[in-house]
Amino acid sequence: MKIIGGPSSQTLACRVAAEMNILPTVSEFTRFPDDEQYLKISEPIEGEDVVLIQSTATDSDWIMLLQMIDACASAKSIRVVIPYMGYARQDQVFKSGEAVSARAMAKTLTGVDSVWTMNIHKKHTLNHFACPAMDLDASPLIAKYILDLKLNRPLLVAPDKGVEKMVRDMASGLDLECDVFDKTRLSGDTVSIQEKKMDIVGRDVILMDDMIATGGTMAESVKILRTNHAGNVYVACIHPVLARNAVLRLANSGVKDIMATDTLEKIQSRISVAPVIAAELKKLKK
């Protein structure tokens, strides 16, 4: 088996390879003078089972993933792991005339034996891949991390109904209380969160979402919790997109800490999803 990390998931690929007790395969990624991307996999992969790991937060990341797949055309099998799949939030037509971006992107992956995503925004997107696709769940890793923090009467809160099930499952696994806010999106980076009576005075609260993009959802939620005299307020997510000034917005809202996984490699990505990916790879070997 060859573990090949793309530029956006180098550290994660190394961690998965370490879990599998193999060395990661080296690739070269550079750009031509006109800025087009260039990829060369530095080891022979003919007849090998290859695992390509590349998050697709940017258009360039997606193009690199297509190049990685193409470079592995002579492999025995190609498994693509997309820890964070960009464009997945436009998973349906919200307004007439729109593209279903998640479908458009999924359809570009050809010549692949299987795709694994991680906490993809909506599971039905998996049906748009031409090959078998499976979504892995990193939320138990975050749950364990939260448990180890030894917080004061912690309460887990979902900032909107879209992640309610994931957060309720985490809470029940930890034997913690859980609540959910009602969110209305006003624009790409602004939301309104409805005030709600909760038993939070002096308690530590963890807001948990699938991703933090502009930070608007979390910043508004944190403000409400702090106005209502919560103790320390933490935010946690699977995918730390942290676009634009999200980190500053969150700090300004009074958040104590930002906890995230390495599906996107940021300074906040302290919880590695490598064990989840490796566990699935080990099942294939049996």
Q: Measured between alpha carbons, how far is 72 from 80 in angstroms, rounded to an integer?
A: 11
- Side chain identity, residue 199: D
With beta carbons less than 8 A apart as the criterion, state whether 136 and 118 touch. Answer: yes
Q: Scan residues 203-232 and list those touching ligand R5P (CB under 6 A).
A: 209-217
Q: Measured between alpha carbons, how far is 85 from 121 in angstroms, rounded to an integer?
A: 8
Active site residue 183: yes
Q: Measured between alpha carbons, how far is 283 from 276 in angstroms, rounded to an integer?
A: 11
Alpha-carbon Rg for the chain, nearest whole angstrom, is 20
CB of 32 to ligand R5P, least distance (A): 34
> Interface with ligand R5P by CB under 6 A: which range of 40-48, 129-137, 140-148, 157-165?
157-165
Of 199, 152, 144, nearest in space to 173 by CA: 144
CB of 33 to ligand R5P, least distance (A): 36
- Residue 34 counted as an annotated binding residue: yes
- Residue 89 counted as an annotated binding residue: yes
Between 13 and 211, name the residue whose CB sits nearer to ligand R5P.
Answer: 211
Between 13 and 163, name the residue whose CB sits nearer to ligand R5P.
Answer: 163
CB of 219 to ligand R5P, least distance (A): 8
From residue 41, give the alpha-carbon distance in Å to each of 20, 113, 244.
20, 19, 32
- Residue 209 counted as an annotated binding residue: yes
- Residue 226 counted as an annotated binding residue: no
Residue 162, interface with ligand R5P (CB under 6 A)?
Answer: yes
With beta carbons less than 8 A apart as the criterion, state whether 106 and 128 touch. Answer: yes
Between 5 and 159, name the residue whose CB sits nearer to ligand R5P.
Answer: 159
Look up residue 272 and give its DSSP letter: -
Binding positions for Mg(2+) are: 121, 160
Binding site for ligand R5P (CB under 6 A): 159-160, 162-163, 189, 191, 209-217
Q: Active-site residue numbers?
A: 183
